[in-house]
Amino acid sequence: MTSRLDGPLKVTGQAKYGADNNFPGMAYGYVVLSTIAHGEIAAMDVTAANSAPGVIGVYSPFDPLELRRPSSPLFGETWVPLQDKEVTYYGQPIGFVVAETFEQARDAAMLIEVAYHQRPALTSLEDGLASAEDAPPVAREEPPSLEVLADGVESIEDALAASPVVVEATYTTATQNHAAMEPHSAVAVWDADGLTVYSGNQGANLQAAELAAALDVDPASVHSVNPFVGGAFGGKARTSAPAFLAAAAAKALDRPVKAALTREQVFSATAGRAATLQKILLGADTDGTLIALRHDSWCSTAADRSFVEPTSHGTSREWYATQNLAISQKMVPLNIPPTTFMRAPGEAPGSFALESAIDELAVRLNMDPIELRMRNNSTAPPGKDLQWSSKHLDECFRIGAERFGWANRSPQGHTDGDWLVGLGTATAMFPALRFPATVEVVLQADDTAVVSTSGADPGTGLLTVLSLVGAESLDISPEKITPRLGDSAFPPGGMSGGSTGTASAGTAIMIAAATAIDDLLALASSPGAPFDGMEVSYADGRVLAEGQSMTFGEVLRAVNRSSLSATGSSAPGEEMTKHSFSSFGAQFCEVRVHRWTREARVSRMLGVFDAGRIINDKAARSQIIGGMIWGVSAALHEGLEIEENGRLANGDFAGYLLPVNADIPDVGVHFVQYPDTLHNAVGARGLGEIGTVGMAAAVANAVYNATGIRVRNIPIVIEDLLD
C-alpha cells in the first residue's frame, strides 16, 4: 500500500498551512461580527478602537475597504464583507480591526459600539415553511419540480392511490457546520509583482480569480498559495471573509496582514449545511416492486438565496427503478448564516429520508430490506434512457451481507444483557463527475519528472494520486515523480470537490504524459540527436530503437536540454450524452441501545463500494472511513441549534457535538473494482463523498431494528428513544 506523501509532514507538524506564514512588518486583523440577525447598521462608534494600543486600521461599512463582488460561472456572485450596511444573519462580518498583534486587534474590536435598526428575523425552517419558494434549477440544472409518469397514469396521486401498499412519512435533518480543524484564515502580501495570498482553499486558481475580481486588479498579478488545507469538505470552495479583508487591508496599509477566524467565529462567519424537511410517499406492489415515488423537499437557505441543498434531486431522481416519479425542491429563505456545499450535498441528507422510507416499506411488506432494494435496482435514472456506465450495487449488497452476518439478523433485533442490538442497511450513491483540469508534466534531465496543477489536496490524498498516475503514465517509478499542487501559478486544476479530483486531474495527467512522450520521441530522433532518423519507441522510462536504449534523462542531456514539458487538459465531453455515471455502495451498521439509559452506540460498520478503479487502496479506505464516520456523526451527534434571535447556541467545539475515538468502532471497507473507462481514461470514479451517503439512514434503521422506535429526525437523541 502507498502511504500519503504529505503524511510525514502533517503528523510531525512540519506542514505549513496558510496562517503559518509570517513576514517582517506583518499586522494582524480581527473580524467583527453582527449581534442581530436582521436589520441595518445605523452607526458604528470606532473611536475607542482607533485609540487602542497597537491599532493601525479600523474598517466598517462607514469606512470600508475597497472591494467589489466577484462573479463566476461556477459560484455566481460572491458576497464580500463591509460593502453595505444590511445585516441578514447573526454573526455576519461587519467590521475589521488591524493591529500590531492579534491580541491588540481582538481587544480593540471589543470596544466598537454598534447601533442597529433592527427588523424581525426568521430563523426557523419550520416557521418559514409558509414562505417557501421554488428553488432555482438544481442538480445539474434540472427544474425544481419534475414528474415522470407511466403511460396512462394521470398524476402521481393516481399512481399512489392505485398502489396496494403506501408508506408516507416526513423526515428532518439538522443544520451542520464543516468543523474543519483549520479555521478559515489568510496571509496577504503585496509587492511590485502584485498580491500573494496564503490561504487554505479548494482551488488556488479559483481563489486567485475571485480576489482579482474583488480587488479589480489584473488576474495575472494575484498569486494564491495553499500547499496544505486543514479540512475543507466544501466549506473552503469559495474565498473566505478573512482572505478578502486581509488582501484589501494589506493593500491599503502597504504591509502584510494576517487574518484568522476564531473557532467560534467559524460557525457563523462561514457557510454550512442547510437544514432540511422532506416528505416521502412510496407506493409499491405486494411483491415490493415500486409503483410510485414522491419526494418533496424543503431546505433552509440564507436571505440571499445563494445555495440550495438538492435532497430530492440528489436521491429519488436516480436511485430506484419506479414506474412513476415526482420530486420537488423548495427553499426557505431565513436570517441564518449562508449555506453551501458540504460533503455529499443533497445526497447526505436526502439519503437519510429516502433510505429510511425504503426501510419502512420493507417493514410494511415483511420483506428483507436488502431484497427490497435489489428488487428495485435501477439500470438508468427514471425517465432517462442513459444507462449506468457500470453498476455493481447488487454485488456490494451480497458481499456486505455475507461479511456482516446479515443472515443472522432478526426483524426484531436481539438483546445482549442490558443492550438492545439491531442491524441496519442503506444504499449509497454519489454522481461520478469530472471538472475541467489542466496538468503540466515536465521530464527532467536527472530522470525525474514533475507533475503540477493548481488544484488542492484538502486531505483527499490527491497529491499522492498525482505521483501514482504520473508514474504509471510515464512508465517510471512513483519515487521519480515530484507532484505539485495548491498554487495558482500552476496550470488551472479547478476545484477539489464533488469527488472529482482523481478523475479530473488523472485524465489530464495521462494526456500530458502522452504528449510529453511523443515530444521526447520526436526530439530523440531529430537530426543530430542520439536516435537520428531511427524508428523509436518508449518503455520503462527509456527511448528504444534498433537494440539501443537511453533513459529520457540521458536523451535530454545528449541534446543539451534540462527539461521537456507538456500540458494536458481534460473536461467532461461526449460521454455525458451516452451514459449516466455514479459510484455505488452498500452501508451496514450495528447499533446497541441501552435498555435503561437509552444511550445509542454504533458497535460495527461495514461499507462495500463500487467506485471504479481504486488508485491508492490505503488512501481510498481512509476516505471512506472518514465519510462513514461523518454519517454516524450526522445520525447521533451533529446539529447546530439556532436560537430565535439567530444566535448559534452551540457554535463552538464544546456544544457542537462531534464523534471521538470512543464513539467509533473498527470500520470495515471493501471495494469491488470494475474500472469505468467509459467515464474517464483512468477508470476511477469519485469516492470522497459516497462514504457519508446512506450511513445516517443505516444507523436509524438499526435503531429501529433494535428498539422498534422509528426516528425520523437526525441527530437522534436520547429523548427520541424513550418509550
Active site residue 535: no
CA atoms within 13 A on the CB side of 270: 34
Rounded to whole angstroms, how far apart are CA atoms 88 and 81? Answer: 12
Q: What is the largest CA-CA distance in the chain?
A: 87
Which 3 state secondary structure label does DSSP give 323? coil
Q: Which three cell numbers stand for residue 174?
A: 439538522
Q: C-alpha dihedral over 376, 380, 381, 384, to 10 degrees?
A: -140
**φ, ψ for residue 464, nearest 5 deg:** -70, -35
Which 3 state secondary structure label does DSSP give 522? helix
What residue type is assigned to position 719 of the chain? Answer: E
H or E element at residue 602: strand 600-610
Rounded to whole angstroms, how far apart are CA atoms 719 and 723? Answer: 9
Rounded to whole angstroms, how far apart are CA atoms 100 and 57? Answer: 10
**Annotated active-site residue in 210, 309, 347, 689:** 689
Q: CA Rg, the chain, in Å?
A: 27
Which 3 state secondary structure label does DSSP give 263? helix
Rounded to whole angstroms, how far apart are CA atoms 659 and 636? Answer: 9
Residues 301, 334 contacting (CB under 8 angstroms): yes
Residues 569, 508 contacting (CB under 8 angstroms): yes
Other C-beta atoms lying within 10 Å of the C-beta of residue 110: 12
Other C-beta atoms lying within 10 Å of the C-beta of residue 150: 12
Q: C-alpha dihedral over 173, 177, 179, 180, to 10 degrees?
A: 110
Which residue blocks in 405-497 are alpha helix, DSSP H?
Answer: 462-474
Which 3 state secondary structure label does DSSP give 587? strand
Rounded to whole angstroms, how far apart are CA atoms 111 and 154? Answer: 65
Name the nearest CA neighbour of 25 among 107, 103, 98, 110.
Answer: 98
What residue type is assigned to position 75 of the chain? Answer: F
Count Cβ neighbours within 10 Å for each residue of 638-677 and write b for 16 or more, e otherwise. Answer: bbbebeeebbbebbeeeebbebeeeebeebbbbbbebbbe
Q: Which three cell numbers stand for residue 570?
A: 481534460
**φ, ψ for residue 77, nearest 5 deg:** -85, 135
Cell match 495558482: residue? 488
Catalytic center residues: 689
